[in-house]
Amino acid sequence: MKIEFLTQEDSLYVLPFFEEFLRHYAAEFEIARISCCRAMGKRSRVQLLRELKWLYGVTGLGKLLLQAAKAKLFSFLPKNRSSQKFYSIAQLAQAYGIPYEHVDNPNKPEFTDALQQRAPDLLISVACPYILKEKLLGIPPRGCINIHHAPLPRYKGMMPTFWQLYHGEQQLGVTIHYMAAKVDEGDALLQESLPVTPGESLHDLIRRSKRHGAHCMAKVVRSLQANSAVATQMDHAQGSYFTFPRREEAREFRRRGLRAI
């Protein structure tokens, strides 16, 4: 079964998923391509920086920007599969010999037409910053699946790890589901949970959950290859939807003794 990944170029929070997945499963699965969108898609950089400052504070945002700058600088270094650390998804894909491309909005004909020509069996979204339309979702014969780091149908939408910590959850959910025209509403293929370590920062928990999610994804891909996957319909009447936290919610997060970074 030939699979493709659709994601965003994020060295801090998305790269750990791919490092873990390729390190453990590159030889097991036929990975035909990784396509990367701009981080956060069309979201204004000014708006994003403002929101990140609310969430991480000035010092925390500075740390993130330094890490991102370091990743940008070192992403040009040649790496191989035995390397212990990578600095971009493009660098990682090159080390594993996987075709990589930067794409604009994947709903545009340039991408959908090329995807139809390549004919992957399965498309996997990992933090893709665009809502995929029905034309694109209908191309892979085995469907399109997405990983969401929350127990759907609760915590749909953005920043699910933040909201689970905000609401005092002791377990961080992971849901892998078929993608549908409505966000986070396809049938579930796997639901697991990961214990939250007391005192763990949002930053560290996101990175740890991405690595855990790579192993969850491998389970699902195996089951789809073996035609043993069981899709479960979710009760969306019990769902809840969240957006990027506002300034007052970020303040309340810190007031509760929680750390962003």
Give the integer Cα–Cα distance in Å for 232 and 138.
20
Structural contact between residues 221 and 3, judged by C-beta atoms closer than 8 angstroms: yes
| First-last CA distance in the chain | 39
- The dihedrals phi and psi of 135, each to the nearest 5 degrees, come to -60, -45
What are the tens digits of pLDDT across the range 149-207? 999 999 999 999 999 999 999 999 999 999 988 777 899 999 999 999 999 999 999 99
Tokens of 20: 């873990």
- Is the bond into 153 cis (omega within 30 degrees of 0)? yes
Beta bridge partners of 100: 34
Residue 107: other Cβ atoms inside 10 A = 15
The pTM is what?
0.95
Give the integer Cα–Cα distance in Å for 177 and 191.
9
Give the integer Cα–Cα distance in Å for 205 and 106.
29
* Cα 256–chain centre separation: 27
Closest CA to 39 of 86, 72, 7: 7
The H-or-E segment that residue 253 falls in is helix 247-255
Q: Angle CA(162)–CA(168)–CA(172) in degrees, nearest 5?
A: 60
Structural contact between residues 100 and 4, judged by C-beta atoms closer than 8 angstroms: no
CB proximity list for 135: less than 8 A, separation 6 or greater = 107, 112
Mean pLDDT of 41-46: 84
Q: How confident is the model at residue 42 (pLDDT cuts 50, 70, 90)?
A: confident
Query: Does residue 225 surpass a pLDDT of 90?
Result: yes
What are the tens digits of pLDDT across the range 208-218? 999 999 999 99
Q: Where are the alpha helices (DSSP H) in 109-191?
A: 109-118, 134-137, 160-166
pLDDT, mean over the chain: 95
CB proximity list for 123: less than 8 A, separation 6 or greater = 3, 4, 5, 6, 115, 136, 139, 140, 143, 144, 145
What are the tens digits of pLDDT across the range 234-257? 988 888 999 999 999 999 999 999
Beta strands in the chain (DSSP E): 2-8, 30-37, 100-102, 122-126, 144-148, 156-157, 171-178, 188-195, 241-242
**CATH tag for 2-255 (out of 3.40.50.12280, 3.40.50.170, 3.40.50.880, 3.50.50.60):** 3.40.50.170
Residue 161, helix vs strand vs coil: helix
Tokens of 249: 């919610």
